[in-house]
């Protein structure tokens, strides 16, 4: 089964004020992370992929991961370590267009 897009329906734009800073001292958005395994959590996990969750007040930010490959028994793991409130309502996995 192709995994074209995984979208998280979650509250965004809840970043801290003043914003978080990256290693260079520049403002950055809070991020969530996604990784997966294709053998039902007993084996090797993928690299961590990140998506921005919006600066403070950017409530329309969409959290999605694209072009995730193909799998039959994939298990996803979503996580977040930035100090922001988390309201994860749902997740939607889409196959390719026309499928």
Q: What is the pLDDT along the chain (99 residues), one digit of tens a residue?
A: 889 999 999 999 999 999 999 999 999 999 999 999 988 767 789 999 999 999 999 998 999 999 999 988 889 999 998 889 889 999 999 876 655
Contact 87, 10 (CB under 8 A): yes
Is 53 inside any structural domain? yes
Contact 2, 96 (CB under 8 A): yes
83 burial (CB, 10 Å; 0-12 / 13-18 / 19+) is: exposed
For the chain, the domain total comes to 1
Domain that holds residue 66: 5-17+28-94
Q: Enter the pTM of the model.
A: 0.84
Cβ neighbours of 56 (radius 10 Å) = 15
Q: What is the pLDDT of residue 79?
A: 94
Is 23 inside any structural domain? no
- What CA–CA distances, in Å, run from 56 to 13, 77, 78? 5, 25, 21
Is 99 inside any structural domain? no
Is 65 inside any structural domain? yes
């Amino acid at each position: 089964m192709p995994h074209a897009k995984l979208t998280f329906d979650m509250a965004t734009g809840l970043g801290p004020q003043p914003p978080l800073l990256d290693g260079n001292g520049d403002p950055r958005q809070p991020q969530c992370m996604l990784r997966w395994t294709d053998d039902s959590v007993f084996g090797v996990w993928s690299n961590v992929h990140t998506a921005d969750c919006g600066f403070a007040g950017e409530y329309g930010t969409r959290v999605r991961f694209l072009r995730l490959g193909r799998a039959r028994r994939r298990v996803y793991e979503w996580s977040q370590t930035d100090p922001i409130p988390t309201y994860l309502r749902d997740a939607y996995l889409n196959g390719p267009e026309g499928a």
